Structure 1
Amino acid sequence: MKNITYICLLSLITMVVSCTDVVDVEVPTAEPRLVIEASLDWEKGTSGMNQTIKLSTTTPYFETDLPNAVTGAAVSVTRASDNTVFVFEDQQNGTYTTNAFGAILNDVYTLNVVYEDETFTATETLLSTTPITNVTQTKDDGFDPDALEVNVYFDDPVDETNFYILKYQDTSDFFPDLVTVSDEFLNGNEIHLIYEKRGDEEEDEFQPGDVVDINIYNVTKEYYNYIGILNNQSGSSGNPFTPAPVELLGNCINITNKENYPYGYFRVTETDKVSYTFVEE
């Protein structure tokens, strides 16, 4: 019996020791690419003059603490109807800002970024957005009958093809959730969307007193598809049956060197915003 015990103990020690071996995995890295975050949003009821564009570079997967803010670039946006150029000033932290942007509905805008002797550009049309007509809260329409959910209502215009992005931002969270909606089967009707924040713990759900900012954007079909793919890729983490994420390119191109293409998207749109505070039911 003593011999058997000794053998089992020796086997256990061997297993523990072998589990502590360090395995070095070489992760392939690529040359840094420019990342353009250029969402110019004209909020209803404001002048829309204050706008910000962010520039950064990609970093290796396991080295996210590396500084990657891009400074020293020349950033501008041109309005097609009158060739007005809006210059975005370098704030020396990766952001470029203007307080004189001129938003005109259905006008065409072109982004121009010059960085390290290469020119990056993109073009978008500033679309009008239908307003949010009502926001309510319920508990019985989502996945969890005990979880608070927010209901958003808006009217889809008749005889138009529209693509919407709904942004839900819990003011206590760092990242928002983006939801894509098409009017393919809802054209000309009132659209009712239910949003329920889910998590592993009950505390991850909406609680009385929580504040959620809700933005609605009417966007191009291209941007609608872009966000849809982005959501699918970010939501597939940990699922062994989903395909590997593909390289997601936006509408920005490098006209100097096509091989050195950037990431990111240039978007110009009107937006309607509502803030909702949950109450005790």
Structure 2
Amino acid sequence: MKNGIIYIIGLMLLFACEDVVDVDLPEVEPKLIVDGLLRVDKSQEFVNVEIRMKETTNYFDENLPTQVENAVITYGKPLNGDIFESLAFCSLAEREPGSGVYIPDPNFSSDQRIRTSVVEPGMVFILELTHKGKTYYAQTEYAPTVPIDNLEQGDDTLFDEEETEVVVTFTDDPDRDDFYVFDFGFGEFLTVEDQFFQGQEFQFSYFYDDSLTTGQDITVSILGATQDFYNYMDLVIEQTTNNGGVFQTPVATARGNVFDITGLDNIDIFDNVERPNDFALGYFAVVQTYSSTLTIE
């Protein structure tokens, strides 16, 4: 009987210790997220323009698609300062209501798609959009790249026997300083610069943490990058894990190139050096890409 009473008292004390703790999280002003990575595949007739707009929500909540009042991409080759040669425009419209995905407006009076044949080194692209009464501006230069020479499966492992090694080989362009972003799928990216192999063939191994199955196809892409985009991706990769993509949950400290220029009358200071908190999350980049597919053995 005494043992039974002690047991019951112990259970009562155990359940009495289960208190619900409410944590008051600070109110955070929602920020616009711009997933504006445009990949230029020269084997295709048009650039695949898809810009995803989202807005941050409260802590632990999923970021939701949002709509912009207007969005346009301006592009051309600069001749002198702000003067452009053959300036062209691409007006954007939401692909489906509520999707937050913006594509060249199919209902515009003229074809708004961007032909890959006109995209060349030195071309500058400018994204301007309006979201909830605020005007945003992003500028980037087209970043060319080189193809993947060879992609093969290796036998080595780094930390775990379940890892899968892929060996990537490419040859750097000797006439320019290149920055690369490799997309290994599954939200996994890697940044590489040519500082130590200028103009040479370069080979490296990448290890997939998750076990890949025999017969599974994986696609590896090499993306060109400006130095600013390379630095941004390098920072984001360090701060994120495999969460569905580096633009899925942008880190607030990783500042991109989309700035809030509302009320500014001098576009020369569009980067908001005097307004450090006025920017959107994400990045706008236009990069050349090559892809190679490998079947896991």
Q: What TM-score do you get using the length of structure 1 for normalisation?
A: 0.83
Structure 2 distance, partners of 1:89, 1:236, is 30
Structure 2 distance, partners of 1:78, 1:37, is 17
Unaligned runs of 5+ in 2: 78-85, 105-111, 244-250, 264-274
Structure 1 distance, partners of 2:154, 2:47, is 37
Superposed CA deviations along residues 201-251 of structure 1, whole A, max 9, x for unmatched, are: xxx3122111111110120111111111111111499xxxxxxx7622100
Residue 270 of structure 2: aligned partner? none
Look up the equivalent residue of 1:221 and give its one-letter code. Answer: Q
Superposed CA deviations along residues 2-38 of structure 1, whole A, max 9, x for unmatched, are: 757855763454134303x111111112121111111
Map 1:1-281 onto structure 2 (within 5 A). 6-7=5-6, 10-11=9-10, 13-19=12-18, 21-64=19-62, 68-81=64-77, 82-91=86-95, 92=97, 93-98=99-104, 100-103=113-116, 104-106=119-121, 107-140=123-156, 142-144=158-160, 147-158=163-174, 160-169=176-185, 175-198=186-209, 204-235=210-241, 247-256=253-262, 258=275, 259-279=277-297
Structure 2 distance, partners of 1:135, 1:236, is 22
Look up the equivalent residue of 1:84 and give its one-letter code. Answer: A
Look up the equivalent residue of 1:86 and give its one-letter code. Answer: C
- Identical residues among aligned pairs (%): 26
Structure 2 distance, partners of 1:269, 1:34, is 22
Cα contact 2:220–2:293 (8 A) shared by 1: yes
Structure 1 distance, partners of 2:143, 2:61, is 38
Residue 268 of structure 2: aligned partner? none
Structure 2 distance, partners of 1:13, 1:185, is 67
Structure 1 distance, partners of 2:262, 2:163, is 52
Q: What TM-score do you get using the length of structure 2 for normalisation?
A: 0.79
Structure 2 distance, partners of 1:87, 1:236, is 33
Structure 2 distance, partners of 1:247, 1:182, is 23
The alpha carbon displacement at 1:193 in A equals: 2.3
Partner of 1:261: helix, strand, or coil?
coil
Q: 1:183 to 1:227 in 2, by over 3 A?
A: same
Cα contact 1:139–1:145 (8 A) shared by 2: no
Structure 2 distance, partners of 1:11, 1:146, is 45
What is the total number of aligned residue pairs between the two structures?
Answer: 258
Residue 241 of structure 1: aligned partner? none
Partner of 1:48: helix, strand, or coil?
coil
Structure 2 distance, partners of 1:252, 1:147, is 37
The alpha carbon displacement at 1:277 in A equals: 1.2
Partner of 2:136: helix, strand, or coil?
strand
Structure 2 distance, partners of 1:147, 1:263, is 33
Q: 1:57 to 1:147 in 2, by over 3 A?
A: closer
The alpha carbon displacement at 1:102 in A equals: 3.2
Say what the alpha-carbon RMSD is for the aligned residues.
2.4
Unaligned runs of 5+ in 1: 170-174, 199-203, 238-244
Partner of 1:196: helix, strand, or coil?
strand
The alpha carbon displacement at 1:44 in A equals: 3.4
Cα contact 1:142–1:194 (8 A) shared by 2: no
